[in-house]
Amino acid sequence: MNLLSPDKLRARRIVVHAYAFYALILLLIYFFLCAYAKLLPLVGGPDLAVGASKLPVLPVDGAASVTTGFTAGDDSAAIPWTQPLSSAAVPDVTRNFDIGIDPSISLTIALIMVGLAPTFPILRSFEDWMRGAAHRLAGIPTRVLGAGEDLRRRDLAITAVSNGQKPGNVLLIPQSSRDRMDHYRKAAKKSRLSESEDFRHDLELIFAVSTWILDRKLKLANAPARERFDQLEEVLRKRRDQLILELDDKSAFQLGSANETQDAASGDEQGIGERKRVTWERLAKDAQNLADDLCILLALYVEHEIIVTSQTVADEATAHQHTLAKKELEKFLVDLLNPQSSTSYQRSFATMTSLWVLGVVLFVSLFWSLLPGRFEHELAWATAGSVYSRTLIIILYAFNNYCIPMIVTLALRDAAMQSRRWQNMRQAYWTSGLPQAVFLVFVSWAVAAVFAVGLTVWKTGFDTNWTANEQSLGVVLQRSFEYNAPTAFRGALLALIVVVLLDAWRAQARSLRLQPTYLSSVTWASCTAVIMALCGGFTRYLTSWATKPTAQSLDAIDRGLIVYSALFSALIGFFVVFCIAEALLNQRSGTERLRWTKTSSRAPKPTPAE
């Protein structure tokens, strides 16, 4: 495993997704640290308030004394490439728009995060945790290790396939390798090796995979990707040769005539037999470790599409053995090569779902800001406002309230599926599904609420020039939480509904089998719209109460805003679930069409008599 980098453990597409997730989180951390640089000393970071408050700029008077390293002649004015690209003198002017972050602070934070400036323990620990979270999200290395463990539970059983066939290179495995396996098994049995049956399975796996993969007797696909694993194959080949050498020496094997080992079982030779047994235990352990790593190699080759399901037809004897060997390998790797029919390696559709949610939320927010959002904004602020600012605000808050909870929920589900700890929400008993659902809703809601509260605090600090004290900051945090936290619950609930939909599709629920198929999508989308409308209205009701003094009650404006929130939430829920359900149903129908096409193409053409 030390030879394998993350891009070798998973396919390139999966690694890019994990890296994008990691980079996005780092950017969010960077913006947070820049905005709240005054909080760094409280968490062990440096005090960035000490030092220059502005980046150094060149004064106007010093323009003539600037040395560029090149002195032109007297006629340099006539040569265009000797002229400066811009004026060296930069006047100290005030920008028309200032976001409130000093340039020196943003530069210092950037240097801290990239390692060119001293970092602090909490940031380093969190960055390490985020890298591990990105790896777990992509299944690095849990997917390959889990696949290897599953393969170790299977029996290649090449001995049973070889029985009844003529002596020779059956399944491309040389006869000398078969003689070795038989001799090793007998010698280990005489030495009273414990778990001798497992030792036989390991030997069969080692000799078969070594012949097919390491000795390149089988023709595999994707040769450029396989070249990246040449070093790993070479290491495994050396370990195999060393193990065979030790087993030959221990069992006194000679090619062509296998010597029978004589083990004493009683008398004065009892100690010698015990030492032999211990040595065989060590060799059996080495064989087990080598078989484990060969299973990992097979899982890697399936992941990178080096081993794929093939259709070969041949008539010659050698080609026939090649075909049989390939079928035996595909039978051994059936769960990895056909994840659609396997219960352990099914896709989570996290990327597809995230993209659909992002696209639908942006489209519905844009539509809402142009038409109904204009009346909602006028009802709330007594003015329609600018269409551009209204669109930007609605899209920003929709992304925070719907997309962020969805991304967090899908990331948690994907990571749980990679580690095989996910309980299908459609099939699990309520004692297992309810805690899982509560955990998803709470975490996604908390993350979205933190983002919403942070944006509000930032806007308040920008408006007040960061002059608030601890008491006023506490009031701002409390009011911001009471106003924004209920709204973030809408996205958490929608994310839970999407997760239930994904699990229902995996469980082949009856509600997704309606004919025609769009009825299933409409049914799920309509139910989601009703739930989201109730959730949107209720959360807006809580938000309206948070802005009212204790003695006042809700007025007509508040009730109108509740209706607008219910409609907007219903639109988001309907189109998000409808698009995802259609994508899933189309995925299933496409898979079935592909399977039918392959089956029909394999079927022989009927003869005229038929």
Q: Are 466 and 447 in contact (CB under 8 A)?
A: no
What confidence score (pLDDT) does residue 589 get? 45
Q: Cis omega before residue 59 (within 30°)?
A: no
Which band of pLDDT confidence, cut at 50, 70 and 90, is reported for residue 525? very high
**Percent of the chain residues topping a pLDDT of 90:** 26
Q: pLDDT tens digits, residue range 374-416? A: 888 888 877 777 888 888 889 988 999 999 999 999 988 988 8
Please say whether the beta carbons of 398 and 572 come within 8 A: yes
277 or 301: which leads in pLDDT: 301
Task: Work out the pLDDT band at 6, boundaries 50, 70, 90.
Answer: confident
Residue 50: predicted pLDDT: 42
CB of 129 closer than 8 Å to CB of 140: no
- The mean pLDDT value of the chain amounts to 79
3-state secondary structure 194-242: CCHHHHHHHHHHHHHHHHHHHCCCCCCCCHHHHHHHHHHHHHHHHHHHH
**Mean pLDDT confidence for 466-481:** 72
What's the mean pLDDT in 150-178? 76
What whole-number distance in Å separates Cα of residue 453 and Cα of residue 32?
12
* Average pLDDT rounded to a whole number, residues 560-565: 91
* Mean predicted confidence (pLDDT) in 303-310: 86
Q: What pLDDT is attached to residue 546?
A: 78
Give the pLDDT score at 462: 66
Helix, strand or coil, per DSSP, at residue 420: coil
pLDDT at position 156 is 84
Query: Where does 304-403 have alpha helices with state H?
Result: 317-332, 334-337, 350-370, 372-381, 387-398
Q: Which of 142-146, 516-520, 527-531 has the highest mean pLDDT?
A: 527-531
For the residues 14-20, what does the mean pLDDT come to? 83
CA distance 260 to 524: 71
pLDDT single digits (tens) 64-118: 444 444 444 544 444 444 444 444 444 445 555 556 677 888 888 888 888 887 8
pLDDT at 66: 45
pLDDT for 459 beyond 70: yes
CA torsion, points 429, 431, 432, 435, in degrees to nearest 10? 140
pLDDT at 87: 45
567 vs 264, more confident: 567
Does this model's pTM top 0.75? My answer is no
Q: What is the pLDDT of residues 338-387, one digit of tens each?
A: 765 555 566 678 878 988 999 999 999 999 988 888 888 888 877 777 88
Does pLDDT of 265 surpass 50?
no
Could you tell me the CA-to-CA distances from 567 to 373, 553, 574 in Å, in that order?
Answer: 11, 23, 10
Q: What is the mean pLDDT of residues 252-279?
A: 57
